[in-house]
C-alpha cells in the first residue's frame, strides 16, 4: 500500500519538495543587481578612504612620539642648568647646540602635520560625497556641490605641494533626441548606464560627478594631461562598444594660473570642439590651444576611409547601371533598324 504525507502520495510529496527547493535555490542565487554592484563599489571606496585616514593618523602619532622624546630630553637639560646657576658658558653653548639639533626635526614635524591636515581634508571631501546633500539622486554619483568642494581641495593641494591633477567633462551625444523619441524614462536609464560605466573605469581616488543634465565631470588627482586623455578615450571606447549611445569629451590639466572656473571652462571648450567635430571623440585644452586626441583622430580617419569606400562602391554600381542602360538602348535601336528594313 502506498505511503501518504499530509494526504499526498509520498512520491508526489517528495517531487513537490524537490521542486520547491529548486526554485528557492534559484532565487537565492539570482544575479547581483546594478544597485548591489554599485553599493559594493561604494563600500570598497569607503574602506579605501578609512584606510588612508588610518595611515595618516599612524604617521602623525609616530612622528609626535619621536618628537615628544626630544622635547623631554631638552626639558631635562634646561632643568639641570637651572639647578646649577654657576655653570660656565660652555654648558650654555652645549644647550644652544642641542636646541639647534632639535630645530630641524621640529620644522619637519610642522611640515608633516600641515601635509597631514591637507590629506585629511582631501579624504574628508571624499567622505562628503557619501552624504545625501552631495549625491545625485538619479545616478548615485557626486553632485555639483561635491565637485566644488573637491576642486577647492585639489587646488589647495596643488598650490601647497605642486601636485598636479586633470579634469575631464564627458557629454552623452544626441541626448535630447533620446528624450524626444523614447521618453524621459529611457533618457534616465541611459544616464544611469553611462554613470555606472564611468564609475567602473575610474580609480578609488578619482571623483565622478554628474555636472548637470547629460554631462559628467571626473577629477583625477596626480594625473597629467596625457593620463587624462588615456582615461577619457578608454571611457569613450567602452561606451561605444557596450552601450547604444556615444559620448564626447574635453580634458584639461590644472595649470598654475588656473582656478576652478577657468579649468572647467578650458575643459568645456575642448568638449565644444569635440561636439562640433562630429561627436564621439575626445579633445583637450593644452593651455594654449584645443587639440584632438590622436586616437580619436585615427578613428575619424578610419571612418572617413570607410565612407570613401562606400562612396566608391556606389559610383561603381552607378557606372554599371548606366553601362547596362546604354547597352539596352543600343540593342533597342538595332532592333528598330532591323524591323524597318
CA dist 157 and 83 (Å) reads: 48
Q: Quick one: how far is CA 19 from the chain centroid?
A: 46
Q: Is 254 helix (H, G, I), strand (E, B) or coil?
A: coil
For residue 94, the Cα-to-chain-centroid distance in whole angstroms is 57
**Of 184, 179, 280, 303, residue with least CA distance to 232:** 280
Instruction: Tell me which of 2, 76, 87, 214 is the catalytic residue.
Output: 214
Active site residue 214: yes
CA distances (Å), origin 268, targets 164, 189, 233, 297, 341: 19, 25, 16, 19, 78
Rounded to 10°, the helix 175-182/184-201 angle is 140
Nearest in space to 197 (alpha carbons), one of 231, 163, 150, 159:
231
**Residues marked as catalytic:** 214
Amino acid at each position: 500500500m502506498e505511503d501518504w504525507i499530509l494526504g499526498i502520495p509520498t512520491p508526489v510529496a517528495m517531487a513537490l519538495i524537490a521542486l520547491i527547493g529548486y526554485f528557492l535555490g534559484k532565487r537565492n542565487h539570482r544575479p547581483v543587481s546594478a544597485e548591489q554592484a554599485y553599493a559594493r563599489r561604494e563600500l570598497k571606496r569607503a574602506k579605501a578612504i578609512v584606510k588612508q585616514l588610518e595611515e595618516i593618523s599612524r604617521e602623525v602619532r609616530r612622528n609626535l612620539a619621536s618628537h615628544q622624546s626630544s622635547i623631554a630630553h631638552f626639558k631635562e637639560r634646561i632643568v639641570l642648568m637651572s639647578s646649577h646657576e654657576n655653570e660656565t658658558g660652555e654648558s650654555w653653548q652645549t644647550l644652544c647646540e642641542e636646541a639647534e639639533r632639535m630645530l630641524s626635526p621640529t620644522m619637519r614635524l610642522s611640515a608633516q602635520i600641515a601635509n597631514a591636515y591637507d590629506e585629511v581634508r582631501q579624504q574628508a571631501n571624499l567622505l562628503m560625497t557619501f552624504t545625501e546633500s552631495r549625491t545625485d539622486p538619479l545616478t548615485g554619483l557626486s553632485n555639483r556641490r561635491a565637485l566644488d568642494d573637491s576642486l577647492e581641495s585639489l587646488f589647495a593641494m596643488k598650490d601647497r605641494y605642486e601636485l598636479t591633477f586633470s579634469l575631464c567633462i564627458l557629454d552623452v551625444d544626441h541626448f535630447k533626441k533620446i528624450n524626444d523619441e523614447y521618453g524621459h524614462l529611457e533618457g534616465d536609464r541611459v544616464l544611469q548606464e553611462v554613470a555606472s560605466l564611468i564609475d567602473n573605469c575610474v580609480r578609488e581616488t578619482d571623483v565622478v560627478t554628474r555636472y548637470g543634465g547629460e554631462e559628467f565631470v571626473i577629477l583625477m588627482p596626480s594625473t597629467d594631461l596625457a593620463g587624462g586623455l588615456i582615461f577619457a578615450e578608454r571611457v569613450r571606447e567602452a561606451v561605444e562598444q557596450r552601450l547604444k549611445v556615444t559620448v564626447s569629451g574635453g580634458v584639461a590639466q590644472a595649470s598654475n594660473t588656473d582656478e576652478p572656473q577657468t579649468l572647467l571652462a578650458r575643459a568645456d571648450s575642448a568638449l565644444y570642439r569635440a561636439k562640433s567635430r562630429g561627436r564621439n571623440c575626445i579633445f583637450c585644452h593644452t593651455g594654449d590651444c584645443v587639440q584632438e586626441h590622436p586616437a580619436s583622430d585615427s578613428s575619424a580617419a578610419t571612418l572617413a576611409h570607410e565612407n570613401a569606400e562606400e562612396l566608391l562602391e556606389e559610383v561603381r554600381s552607378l557606372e554599371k547601371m548606366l553601362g547596362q542602360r546604354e547597352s539596352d538602348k543600343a540593342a533597342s535601336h538595332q532592333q528598330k533598324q532591323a524591323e524597318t528594313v
